[in-house]
Amino acid sequence: MQTENRILDDLARLTSGALGSLASLKGEIDALVRQRLERLLGEMELVSREEFEAAKALAANARVAAEALEARLAALEAALKAAGIALPEDRS
């Protein structure tokens, strides 16, 4: 009876040791994969979310400014036409 318990104890120790090794191996693999992905993403020259949001806001502000300038130009052209001043030809 005691030999059966000893065999089961040895088997349990072996199994727990193997599971511990697998858990350690999983941690190492996770770290290695994370490191490789970070290096790959760094080589791809991707922008961060913050940089993208800043560029997006800058483009939106530029669009609003361009629309305001277009409206101002149209008003000035209308005022010039109303005053009888000839406008140069559109070159665009």
pLDDT in tens, 13-70: 888 877 778 888 888 899 999 999 989 988 888 888 999 999 999 999 999 999 999 9
pLDDT of 20 reads 78
Indicate the domain borders of the chain. Answer: 1-44, 47-85
Number of H helices, E strands in the chain: 2, 0
Which tokens is 38 given?
Answer: 């970070």
pTM: 0.50
